[in-house]
């Protein structure tokens, strides 16, 4: 039997009214939602296409050639990278591993014009370089605006613009995946926290800008992990700002150098060996010709594996620098920050159960063979670097 239920007219009208109001409210929310999500501060591009249009004119491609007369098989090496103009006089920022040591540097602008570039200076440690092209006789060069990387938050949208695999003026989109990230096994890991992003960074992207939603440069794309997907890194622009004056004035950054490689004594190592290891910096190797080597500091003699990572044991353990205990990277970083070339350092270390002290005069750090070798994204060929060394979160080999 069918049952028919009659509704009161007033109830029907009320139901229709409520439904209409809900539909109207939903329409307002749906209309406002995307606009609210895309809302940017005043003066910022309203959309990604507008952002690209604003920034891309200052982004350029770089092709460079180096000649090695001692390598018959690969005498000529060609690399491709990116860069961006930061001054109307033709000053360009890029990565050191794109242009440092190259005999020929050519720049192709957004309008297709190709110009020779003059090398100004480079810092292979932080992977920052400056080159210059002549300004045009008519008009002015477009310039990228530098932002403030200290204000970045994890989860914010970022955009990488560059020339991956020679595909000029390509834009990829992602977010800030992490801040203050350290690449593994690098000489600068005490002082160079990087921006991690999932915006695609491929060979050819190196030296290009990483920009925020306002189109301001907050980093220089510098590396990725080839074995991973969407794990890329950029040098924070605030760090770049600090380096630029040195490159303009001297063509390089002058750093004090002791010449040791190693890592801090980890609790896992003490537990594994069950030996009375002192806290400090375990010297695994000394750089040939370094002040440390000349003063007789000793590196490791045999290798063991701890949590899948190699450790060279048997070397000296540096416990103090100028009377300050060295037990953590932060402490070492503060001490090194107060030193300069020519500083006399009182170095205390443990060896064979005894404590010894020597005085060492720090010298200027030379360009080392591994500088820049752990970066990737610049050249194809050579094969991508960036995976060598120790993964973040494990024991890291430090150099200073």
Domain ranges of the chain: 256-364
Q: How confident is the model at residue 387 (pLDDT cuts 50, 70, 90)?
A: very low
Catalytic residue among 82, 206, 290, 376: 206
Residue carrying the six token digits 């200073």: 400
Contact 221, 160 (CB under 8 A): yes
Catalytic residue among 96, 97, 149, 371: 97
Q: What is the DSSP string of 139-184?
A: S----PPB--GGG--TT-EEEEEE-GGG--SEEEEEEEEEEEE--T
Region 62-91: mean pLDDT is: 90
206 is catalytic: yes
- For residue 167, the model assigns a pLDDT of 86
The tens digit of pLDDT for each residue in 321-356 reads 999 998 887 788 888 888 899 999 999 999 988 999
pTM for the complete prediction? Answer: 0.79
d(CA 84, CA 80): 14
The tens digit of pLDDT for each residue in 58-68 reads 999 999 998 88
First to last CA, the chain: 91
A 10 A CB-CB count for 388 gives 13
Catalytic residue among 56, 61, 123, 127: 127
Closest CA to 286 of 309, 312, 254: 312
State both tokens at 267: 């609790």
In the CATH scheme, what architecture does the domain 256-364 have? Answer: Roll (2.30)
Model confidence at 36: pLDDT above 50: no
97 is catalytic: yes
- For residue 269, the model assigns a pLDDT of 73
265 Cβ contact partners less than 8 Å away, ≥ 6 residues apart = 277, 278, 279, 280, 281, 282, 317
């Amino acid at each position: 039997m069918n049952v028919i239920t009659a509704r009161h007219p007033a109830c029907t009208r009320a139901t229709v009214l409520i439904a209409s109001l809900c539909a109207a409210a939903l329409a307002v929310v749906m209309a406002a939602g995307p606009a609210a999500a895309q809302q940017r501060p005043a003066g910022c591009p309203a959309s990604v296409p507008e952002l690209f249009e604003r920034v891309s004119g200052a982004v350029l491609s770089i092709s460079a050639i180096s000649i090695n007369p001692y390598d018959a098989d690969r005498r000529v090496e060609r690399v491709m990278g990116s860069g961006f103009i930061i001054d109307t006089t033709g000053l360009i920022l890029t990565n050191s591993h794109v242009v440092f040591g190259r005999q020929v540097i050519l720049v192709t602008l957004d309008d297709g014009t190709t110009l020779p570039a003059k090398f100004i200076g480079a810092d292979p440690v932080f992977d920052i370089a400056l080159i210059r092209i002549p300004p045009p006789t008519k008009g002015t060069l477009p310039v990228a605006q530098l932002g403030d990387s200290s204000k970045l938050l994890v989860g914010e949208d970022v955009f990488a613009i560059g020339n991956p695999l020679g595909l000029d003026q390509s834009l990829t989109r992602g977010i800030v995946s992490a801040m203050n990230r350290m690449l593994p096994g690098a000489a600068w890991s005490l002082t160079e926290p990087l921006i991690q992003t999932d915006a695609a960074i491929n060979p050819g992207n190196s030296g290009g800008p990483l920009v925020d939603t306002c189109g301001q440069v907050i980093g220089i794309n510098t590396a990725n992990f080839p074995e991973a997907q969407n794990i890329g890194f950029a040098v924070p622009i605030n760090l770049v700002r600090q380096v630029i004056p040195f490159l303009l004035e001297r063509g390089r950054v002058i750093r004090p150098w002791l010449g040791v490689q190693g890592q801090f004594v980890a609790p896992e190592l003490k537990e594994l060996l069950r030996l009375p290891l002192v806290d400090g910096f375990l010297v695994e190797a000394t750089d040939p010709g370094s002040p440390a080597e000349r003063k007789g500091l000793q590196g490791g003699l045999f290798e063991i594996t701890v949590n899948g990572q190699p450790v060279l044991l048997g070397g000296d353990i540096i416990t103090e620098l100028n009377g300050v205990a060295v037990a953590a990277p932060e402490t070492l970083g503060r001490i090194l920050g107060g030193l300069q070339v020519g500083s006399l350092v009182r170095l205390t270390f443990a060896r064979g159960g005894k404590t010894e002290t020597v005085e060492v005069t720090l010298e200027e750090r030379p360009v080392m063979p591994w500088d820049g070798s752990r970066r990737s994204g610049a050249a194809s060929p050579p094969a991508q670097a960036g995976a060598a060394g120790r993964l973040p979160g494990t024991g890291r080999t430090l150099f200073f």
